[in-house]
Structure 1
Amino acid sequence: MTTTSDSQQTRASGSRRGRRNDPDRRDRIVDACLEVIARSGVAGTSHRKVAAAADVPLGATTYYFDGLDDLLHAAFERFATAASEAFDARLAGADGPQAAREAVVALIVHDIFQDERSLVLSHELYTLAAREPRFRTITSAWMRRSQVSLGRHFDPATARTVDALIEGLTIHRALDDEERDVDEVVEAVRRITG
């Protein structure tokens, strides 16, 4: 007899008894969800589109996830975790204040500004989190991880301000038709951290 908690554990682990020939199905669904969000936005995301993008039967999306919100939550958690890990890796190599400033500039100019998909996903998550407290836990954890990474090089107040600068410049990048001047970014980071 399968209890509710057994069923929930099966879903959480992403394993399905008797489906050993497709052990990565849940992960493919989550990745496909991110691709659908990047193309169509949260409002245009559906189980049907995600199933098609993941090349799985429609019922697989509801087997592994308790509704579209659950699937969106898993997808955005994956996205935020990957973004945090890349952010932390960029800052981990800095071995002093100047190297930390250069790492922040590289994050803004190269890591964030060059990837339209990440910009779109970030803003879709921010909009959803502004409306839905459940998704705000993802953005809050993401901000904390960013500030911890920055806090290795800057005091807490500076780390929060630099994090806000990064977020603000990503909004400008997403909405502005003009390229960001690298010297402008270097000067902004210098002023805040100097």
Structure 2
Amino acid sequence: MASDQTSSRRFDPDRKQRIIDAALDVIVAHGVQGTTHRRVAMAAGVPLGSMSYHFAGMDDLLHMAFRQVAQAASAAFVARLSKARNRRDAIEAIIDIIAGNIWSTPRTLLLSYELYAFAARKPELAAVMRDWMQASRDALGRFFDPLTCRALDALVEGMGIHDSVDHSPLGRGDIADIVHRICRQD
């Protein structure tokens, strides 16, 4: 009977993903500095040895976890912009992304803060952030020149960050006014 239990535990095709998801939960609860192999294993419900089996170390796990966050946030941004058929639709999409917190949920923002801080200390992780920015700019590039794309990308992220701590976050009308100012055509 014990061998049946052992073999069923060994076949766990979702274990690596469960560990990555648990790492993100631990980062939200304790920050990167408080994220340990033991906490992640406990949160994932896996033996501690699974950590070294699936990941080269904590930096490898954090890199995969942060890449997952960046890809999910980027996918939501790109999905909303992909519905735009013209510049006017793209402007409305940007307003929706900011006003509707499409990427800037409290969890994603907190993970983003942790990603920025961690990447400042681990330059190799900056590639995750650059890929995220490039995906946003590529989606915006269908409708805007490169400089406007950079400004809008920074606005989307910056507005989400500001609104997360501001006692009086901007309403949709003010956000629309700002976006229209940036997107003004000469």
**TM-score scaled by structure 1?**
0.86
- The residue that corresponds to 1:8 in the other structure is none
Q: How big is each residue's C-alpha offset from its partner over 1:141-181, in whole Å with a ceiling of 9 and x where there is no partner?
A: 11111100111111111111100111211221232232322
Kindly indicate whether the alpha-carbon contact (under 8 Å) linking 2:16 and 2:54 is maintained by their aligned counterparts in 1: yes
Counterpart pick for 1:53 among 39, 43, 46: 43
Of 61, 69, 72, the match for 2:62: 72
Residue 172, structure 1, aligned to residue 180, structure 2? no
Letter in 1 for 2:162: H
Amino acid at match of 2:136: S
Q: Match of 2:3?
A: none
Residue matched to 1:189 = 179
Q: Evaluate the alpha carbon distance shift between residue 167 and residue 68 of structure 1 in structure 2; reply closer, same or farther with a 3 A threshold.
A: same
Shift of 1:19: 6.7
Letter paired with 1:47: H
Which of 8, 24, 27 aligns to 1:37? It is: 27
Does the 8 A contact of 1:113 with 1:173 survive in 2?
Answer: no
Identity score, percent: 48
Q: Are positions 1:24 and 2:14 aligned together?
A: yes
Contact 2:76 2:102 in 1 (8 A): no
SS at match of 1:111: coil
Q: Could you tell me which residue of structure 1 aligns to residue 148 of structure 2?
A: 158
Counterpart CA distance in 1 for 2:121 and 2:136 is 22
Deviation larger for 169-178 or 130-139: 169-178
- Deviation per residue, 1:34-87 (Å, 9 max, x gap): 111112111111111111111111111121111111100000011111111111
Return 5+ residue gaps in structure 2 as ranges. Answer: 1-7
1:14-48 superposed Cα distances (whole Å, 9 cap, x missing partner): xxxx9762011001001111111112111111111
> Is the contact made by 1:150 and 1:159 (CA closer than 8 Å) also made in structure 2?
yes
- Mapped partners of 1:114, 1:149: distance in 2: 17
Instruction: Look up the match of 1:119.
Output: 109
**1: distance between equivalents of 2:67 and 2:142?**
24
- Tell me the amino acid that sits aligned with residue 175 of structure 1: V
Cα distance between partner residues in 1 of 2:80 and 2:95: 10
Cα RMSD over matched residues? 1.8
Give the 3 Å change call, closer, same or farther, for CA 111–175 of structure 1 in structure 2.
Answer: closer
Report what 1:91 is aligned to.
81
The TM-score, its normalising length taken from structure 2, stands at 0.89
Q: Which residue of 2 aligns with 1:15?
A: none
Q: Distance in 2 between matches of 1:151 and 1:113?
A: 19
Residue 132 (structure 1) shift: 1.4
Which structure 1 segments of 5+ residues have no match?
Answer: 1-17
